[in-house]
Amino acid sequence: MISGRKAIIVGSGIAGMATSIRLAVQGFDVEVFEKNDVLGGKMYLIEKNGFYFDAGPSLFTQPQNLIELFEYAGETIGEYFNFSKVPIACKYFFESGVVVNAYTDKHDFAKELNEKLGEPEHNVIDYLDESARVYESVGNIFLNYSLRSASTWLHPRIFSAMKSVGLSHLFGTLNSFNQIRLKTKEAVQIFNRFATYNGSNPFKAPGMLSLIPHLEQNEGTFYPKGGMISIPNALERLARKKGVKFSLGKSVEKIVKGNDIVEGVEVGGIFHPADIVISNVDVYYTYKNLLGDINKANKVLKNERSSSALIFYWGINKTFPDLHLHNIFFSNDYKSEFEHLFEKKQFFHDPTIYINITSKMEEGQAPDGKENWFVMVNAPAMEGADWVKEVSEVRKNVIDKLSRIMGVDIASYIQEEEVLTPEGIQRRTDSYLGSLYGTSSNSKWAAFLRHANYTTAVKGLFFAGGSVHPGGGIPLCLKSAKIVSDLIKE
């Protein structure tokens, strides 16, 4: 236990709140500064005439990360938060009219791909078994420990883990990896989409990303009661119980250091001293705006930015029995879509569309006889866009595509609407260009080039969240918090 020491956390995203809990348990006096009026970072709630929308992340996997956090804090998670397993991870819709249910039982999933696509069942079973093996060996090391720590690389487990990795994991792309192991182009496309979990391009990202399906298809997909907003709400309750102080509507203007040692932060022109400072905002923004270190900021930008998102929140005046909690309507030309996103920095005219509908899981998320649609397309990280024009064009393409595949005029059922652009994401979260995950994984060295959870340049300064190791998404942000708190304890 460390008593009498002050830790300040900049930003209240999932990683920031989880870190605050861990440090409070370690005995720190913890204060979190959040520039918005609500906690949660990218996770917040939109309510519009009886329709409730989770504004940010919509997929919940690996609940064991949350369970472990509550156990660390000496609390029972069921008193704060409840969730249930979802039997279908996602429904996939193709232009051909084929609809695939991605069952979270791998044998049912393999049978479904065989019946709907003609994909041999053993291909799917073998793929998911290999995904599990690589995740349990290499993934558990790379995602749970600092890659800048000598102890990580010198531990005997690293040698046995690396034996499980083939050349195609390291030097081939995810697409080429999938083409070798799967027969049908539709199955390849389904497993290619997992590159988007960290905002990457499956035609450039390494085959190592094939471990990601293990999370969704082997370990399972879950639904948190009350929607995704219940996760930050539970963390806030736990943090406050452990003595964490939250200062909302307070934007940190500067991280103060002297002789390369962190001294605190400046908020509204007032200095707040601290022994430890953890930045839970985009690492580029941290260097450029909070530390005034342009050289370090530009170094971060040498690594390609991840994709962003354009999201429509639609209150739909109808129910659609053919849709589930998670739904994907695939582009008919996946490769061109990613070329547009990452090389041309443009939206593709035939985008892949993701729809999340929490009213499928519980009442109260939408008025009776209606549904709350979270409709997202991948967006390029680009500057200088005319967002009025871009939103209008994407909206038309999305409605045309959904109407064509579903056989109804979707536009006629849109009762309520809100829109979130990459520009809005940047404004709310300080994520440069609205990138959801900081840097992409579009190279075989991406995992090693992602910024570490600390810096040797400023003693006492740490980093947590989606823009640093091990990456974005709720599971990795929770792992990031554990890595940071362990580094501080050490």
pLDDT tens digits, one per residue of 73-115: 999 999 999 999 999 999 999 999 999 999 999 999 999 999 9
Assess whether 317 and 215 both reside in one domain: no
335 lies in which domain range?
A: 304-429
pTM higher than 0.75, yes or no?
yes
Residue 481, in any domain of the structure:
no
Kindly report the CA angle at 412 between 401 and 373, in degrees rounded to 5?
A: 65
- Please give the backbone phi and psi of residue 454, each rounded to the nearest 5 degrees, phi first: -155, 170
Give the whole-number percent of the chain exceeding pLDDT 70.
Answer: 92
Task: Measure Cα distances from 211 to 120, 133, 197, 275 in Å.
Answer: 20, 8, 11, 38
**Any bridge partners for residue 419, and if so which?**
312
If 0-12 CB within 10 Å is exposed, 13-18 middle and 19+ buried, where does residue 301 land? middle
Assess whether 313 and 205 both reside in one domain: no
Assess whether 417 and 323 both reside in one domain: yes
Assess whether 313 and 414 both reside in one domain: yes
Residue 274, in any domain of the structure:
no
Question: For 290-332, what is each residue's pLDDT tens digit?
Answer: 999 999 999 999 989 999 999 999 999 999 999 999 999 999 9
Average pLDDT, the chain: 93
Residue 316, in any domain of the structure:
yes
Residue 49, in any domain of the structure:
no
Question: For 382-418, what is each residue's pLDDT tens digit?
Answer: 889 999 999 999 999 999 999 999 999 999 999 999 9
Boundary-marking domain end, from 400, 429, 458? 429
pLDDT of 72: 98
Average pLDDT on 192-219 reads 94
- Measured distance CA(337)–CA(229) in Å, rounded: 31
Residue 338, in any domain of the structure:
yes
Q: State the pLDDT confidence band at 1, using cuts at 50, 70 and 90.
A: very low
Boundary-marking domain end, from 163, 185, 219? 219
Strands (E), 280-386: 308-316, 326-329, 353-356, 371-379
Residue 366, in any domain of the structure:
yes
Question: For 274-295, what is each residue's pLDDT tens digit?
Answer: 999 999 999 999 999 999 999 9
Q: Which of 184, 206, 202, 181 is nearest to 193 (CA)?
A: 202
Residue 252: how many CA atoms within 13 Å on its side-chain side?
A: 31
Residue 162, in any domain of the structure:
yes
Count of domains for the chain: 2
Boundary-marking domain end, from 429, 458, 475? 429
Residue 56, in any domain of the structure:
no
Phi and psi based region of residue 229 (left: phi greater than 0; alpha: psi -120 to 50; beta: remaining): alpha
Q: In the β-sheet with 276-279, what is the strand arrangement from edge to edge? A: 245-248, 29-34, 6-10, 276-279, 461-463
> Taking the alpha carbons of 243, 468, 178, 130 in that order, is the dihedral positive or negative?
negative
Phi and psi based region of residue 306 (left: phi greater than 0; alpha: psi -120 to 50; beta: remaining): beta
Rounded to the nearest angstrom, the gap between the alpha carbon of residue 406 and the centroid of all alpha carbons in its chain is 28
